[in-house]
Amino acid sequence: MDVQFWGVRGTFPVARRPASRIGGNTPCAAVTSGAGDVFIIDAGTGIRTLGDALIAGRKTGPLRLSLIFTHFHLDHVQGLPFFAPLLLVDAEIRFYSALDPEDMKGYLGRLMGKPYFPMPFDRTPAAKSFHKIDGAGIGIGSVRISACPLHHPQGSVAYRLEEDGAAVVFATDTEPVADRVDERLAEFAKGASCLVYDAMFTPEEYVSGRQGWGHSTWLEGAKLAKAAGVSNLILSHFNPDHSDRVILGLARRARGIFPATTCAREGLRLTLTPNGPTARGREADRS
């Protein structure tokens, strides 16, 4: 199972030189199973480039994709109208979230409705279906997907994707539990090959007035990774005001508590095994 990051910023995209190494697109990641099934986590602005890559690399036959939403805040959906596979007559896209299917369909319809976008969602040519992931989880091909509620305004969920003993957990929008590790999330992530975690704020920023905003810190991520016994911690959902230098510094500080920590960055690709991920390409925070 492979994981590749296409957008790792939170709140809104950035385009400036001090952010070019980590990347400026909002959340989107792709998980590819051993059988070649593609699971897309969130539709931030990074999904535009992912869509182009999927079309460029497609083989014969229809393009079949699963798009999974952690929640529907704008930074996690704003790239969907520009996702080129939506415009393919031979694409099949299955949409998943923790919401009832009709509610999810309604949210996406409003995102691409008047006066915000010229092409209505329900008129895009791709075949679409809508599905709910609840606490029991679901199996898609060789991958088991389960969900865990997070502490975030208007709700968000973490997802665990598991195949052949390797697992990745995405927990990109969550607030820490006061004075202790989030035990529910630690149990959910237990033994995962890779935990992708919300590092929106520094601990200093968080205590200076960001409580209740629904986001976390590198420190809470390191403590959670340690408690859950994961193989690797990947910090993500970075503050748009943080430069590459600041973000790389967060990872260095986190490694003081949990040594197997790195930063997500656009283009970073990991091959997951039961013992942890192997990076393909350079790791941005090691230099």
Give the tens place of pLDDT for each residue, 115-173: 999 999 999 999 999 999 988 899 999 999 999 999 999 999 999 999 999 999 999 99
Higher pLDDT: 286 or 87? It is: 87
Q: Is residue 253 within 8 Å of residue 235, measured between CB atoms?
A: no
In a domain, 21, yes or no: yes
pTM: 0.94
Half-sphere exposure of 122 (CA within 13 A, CB side): 9
Task: Say what the pLDDT of residue 176 is.
Answer: 93
CA proximity to 56, closest of 33, 26, 84, 37 = 84
pLDDT confidence bin for 258, thresholds 50/70/90: very high
Task: Say what the pLDDT of residue 144 is.
Answer: 97
pLDDT confidence bin for 282, thresholds 50/70/90: very low
In a domain, 286, yes or no: no
Task: Say what the pLDDT of residue 204 is.
Answer: 96
In a domain, 82, yes or no: yes
In a domain, 269, yes or no: yes
| Region 47-61 average pLDDT | 92
Task: Say what the pLDDT of residue 284 is.
Answer: 45
Give me the helices (H) in the chain, please.
Answer: 46-56, 101-111, 183-189, 203-205, 218-228, 244-255
pLDDT one-digit tens code per residue, 173-206: 999 998 899 999 999 999 999 999 999 999 999 9
> Edge to edge, what strands does the sheet with 2-7 contain?
127-132, 91-97, 63-68, 38-41, 28-32, 2-7, 269-273, 276-280
In a domain, 285, yes or no: no
Q: What is the mean pLDDT of the chain?
A: 93
In a domain, 287, yes or no: no
Task: Say what the pLDDT of residue 15 is.
Answer: 87
| Region 2-15 average pLDDT | 95
| Region 3-24 average pLDDT | 90
> How many Å apart are CA 49 and CA 28, to the nearest integer?
10
Task: Say what the pLDDT of residue 61 is.
Answer: 83
CA proximity to 81, closest of 112, 54, 109, 57 = 112
Task: Say what the pLDDT of residue 59 is.
Answer: 82
Task: Name the domain count of the chain.
Answer: 1
Task: Say what the pLDDT of residue 280 is.
Answer: 59
Is 103 a residue whose pLDDT tops 70? yes
CA proximity to 155, closest of 73, 85, 264, 216 = 73
Containing structural domain, residue 30? 2-280
**CATH number for 154:** 3.60.15.10
Task: Say what the pLDDT of residue 287 is.
Answer: 37
- Cα dihedral 25, 248, 204, 172 sign: positive
> How many Å apart are CA 154 and CA 65, to the nearest integer?
27
Is 281 a residue whose pLDDT tops 90? no
